[in-house]
Amino acid sequence: MLFEGTFSVDESGDGQRLDRVMEAFLPGTGLRLRRRLCDEKRVLVDGRARKPGYRVRTGETVEIKQVLQMTSSGGLGLRVVKREGGFAALNKPGGVHSAAIAGGSEPSVESFLPDLFPGDSPVLLNRLDFLTSGLLLVALTPEAREAYLAYEDEGVINKFYLARVRGRMDGIISIRSRLDTDDRKTTRVLSEPDPDHRRWTGITALSHDNAADTSLVRCLIMKGARHQIRAHLASIGHPILGDPLYGGGESRRGLMLQHLRIEMPGFQAEGIPLF
């Protein structure tokens, strides 16, 4: 279900935190989700984006933009792209959690796996950021899970993404900077190279839109770290459009990053390009 609407703050909400007042209009959502919506500038108070701790006042108008609440895998639009040899690939829309959050009430793709694969033992093998769309890989047997972990260690899994970024990019670039993902909202790009080639991001420029001054690029990673592609691209001055954390600015289509294709021994799957 997609929620989008406005409400006015009455006297009972005067002086309360924004992320608390929102609960009455997004019943069943967790505090984490409501705070994320504020951080992503999808909650406006009298037309201005506000942080979760903003104290609202009587008469102010709160606008909430496009919150997806899952009631079923069908309602979500989740679909199986391919199933073969103990593996399955699913398509995840942007704005949906990949994995279940401990202690949270927010729905996730992981929570629907038993319904999608009855009689199997499905295990989610990779995750995508909340805002990122594209392929999620599932192991349907314990043997498939062990095989995936072995492939990952060997560095023989290739994950291809599409991204639309700000500015002009040409040719092929390899971003090898090490990432610091510890206990922070954003991933920090360090000055030294990462000795593990599986943590590098390969960029191939595909096209450039002169009018908008944006480029479409293909990104290749092997064993992704948190926000790897988003942070790496921003570090070279080409943030992804619609990225609220790394300076990509607003986009009517959300974060323009899609996990399009996965390749590994015995299994390949590809989605439909969104942009």
The residues that are catalytic are 129
Cα–Cα distance between 96 and 106 in angstroms, integer? 9
Buried b (16+ CB within 10 A) or exposed e, 209-248: eeeeebbbbbbbbbbbbebbbbbbbbbbebbbbbbbbbeb
DSSP state of 12: G
Count CB atoms within 10 A of the CB of residue 274. Answer: 16
Facing residues of 240 across strands? 165
The one-letter code for the residue type at 159 is K
Q: Note the residue count of the chain.
A: 275
Cα–Cα distance between 60 and 42 in angstroms, integer? 16
The one-letter code for the residue type at 148 is Y
